Structure 1
Amino acid sequence: MKKTLSAAALSITLLFTSGIGSVFADSALDQEIDKVLGTRYSYGGTTTSGFDCSGFTMYVYAKLGLKLPHQSGSQFDMGTSITRKDLRAGDLVFFNTTGSGISHVGIYVGDGKFAHASSNRGVVINRLAEDYYDQRYVGAKRIMSDDKYEQSADTSS
């Protein structure tokens, strides 16, 4: 019974996380994230062999032509603060998961969801409104200029 429930839960999770479903389906941003969904978590990881949270955001942004430092707190020091209601695909979202400041980062993908490297599940998509993330949400930063945003939202690539 327990294995059946676990298999069902995994199937439902995969159903909800396959394809990002952002406002820019098949955009350059979505394509880069889709390529690494499921990549395992690796502390300090910055490649498709394994990512930590800031390594994941650094990797995706590099694919879009933007350079980020490899540390969530340093990424939080960049860009322009954005309110939760003003989030757009590509904005970085930050969390305090340790109780001592910024300790986790992900990429907002639209529709209330964000992509990130989870220490338990690797690169996945979650909802910002999930209790765990909602309670630990610190803020968001817009790193992409409007021009870069338009390029990353382009679905013709």
Structure 2
Amino acid sequence: MLKKLISVIAITIGLSSVFATTGDKAEAAYYHTKAISVAKANLGVPYRWGGITPSGFDCSGLVKYSYSKAGKVLPRTAADMFYTKGYRVSYLQPGDLLFYAPTKASRPTHVAMYIGAGKMIMASSSKGVIVTYTNNTYWNPKYIGAKRI
């Protein structure tokens, strides 16, 4: 009888941790999807240094705004996002933040959001909010890492 009770408790604990993990993943998938959707709704918005609204965005302003609409608070700058939020990943999933620096030894000065299929959405100083490939010849050499929020 005691063995059966222990087995039932173990199964219950195991199932509850599976459901908790599944719930966490579902929540993460929701806010990643929502943040991407918000960013895409702002395609074509002009670049504005320090911009954090749909009247104009800089790179971190777009990411901060998009994630805030999905219910996640992020710091204002690319460097603060890189150093204080999320965890580093090497396998990209939609919603991951991609960080770039002028040299490998520099602080991150640019952030974009991975949207899948080798593409990212970002605020470009020359074109405003755009979708481009992660392997583009300008940004790819400046890539320093990705973080999952």
Q: Which TM-score bucket, shorter chain as reference?
A: 0.7 to 0.9
Gaps of 5+ in 2: 1-29
Percent of aligned positions that are identical: 40
Gaps of 5+ in 1: 1-23, 144-157
Q: Does 1:32 align with 2:38?
A: yes
Q: Which amino acid in structure 2 is aligned with residue 97 of structure 1?
A: P
Tell me the equivalent position of 1:80. Answer: 87
Give 1:74 shift: 0.1
Mapped to 2, the partners of 1:29 and 1:133 lie a distance apart of: 22
Q: Which amino acid in structure 1 is aligned with residue 129 of structure 2?
A: V
Pick from 128, 131, 134 the counterpart of residue 134 of structure 2: 128
Give 1:62 shift: 0.4
Mapped to 2, the partners of 1:104 and 1:41 lie a distance apart of: 13
Question: More relative contact order in 1 or in 2 (CA 8 Å, sep 6+)?
Answer: 1
Tell me the equivalent position of 2:67. Answer: 61
Give the TM-score normalised by the residue count of structure 2. Answer: 0.73
Tell me the equivalent position of 2:99. Answer: 94
Q: How many residues get paired?
A: 116
Give 1:131 shift: 1.4
Mapped to 1, the partners of 2:143 and 2:103 lie a distance apart of: 12
C-alpha RMSD of the superposition: 1.7
